[in-house]
Amino acid sequence: MPRIALEHIAQTNNTGYPAPHDAAVAARWVRRLGPAHGLTDFGVSHVVLKPGGASAQRHWHEDEDEFVVMLAGEAVLVEDDGRTLMRAGDMAAFPKGEANGHHLLNESDGDCVFLAFGRPPTGDCHYPDIDLLWTGGGYRRNDRSSF
Residue 117 belongs to domain with CATH number = 2.60.120.10
Instruction: Encode pLDDT of 5-59 as tens digits.
Output: 999 999 999 999 999 999 999 999 999 999 888 998 999 999 999 999 999 999 9
Assess if residue 105 is contained within a domain: yes
CA neighbours closer than 13 Å in the CB half-sphere of residue 109: 0
Strands of the chain, DSSP E: 28-32, 43-49, 60-61, 66-72, 74-79, 82-87, 91-94, 102-105, 112-118, 125-127, 132-135, 138-140
Among 120, 94, 115, 95, residue whose Cα is nearest residue 40: 120
| Domain assignment present for 125 | yes
Residue 28 lies in a domain: yes
DSSP 12: B
Domain ranges, residue 26: 13-140
Confidence of residue 121 (pLDDT cuts 50, 70, 90): confident
Residue 7 maps to a domain = no
What's the sign of the alpha-carbon dihedral 137, 37, 61, 108? negative
> Where does residue 20 fall: left (phi above 0), alpha (psi -120 to 50 degrees), or beta otherwise?
alpha
- The answer to whether residue 93 sits within a structural domain is yes
Counting the structural domains of the chain, the total is: 1
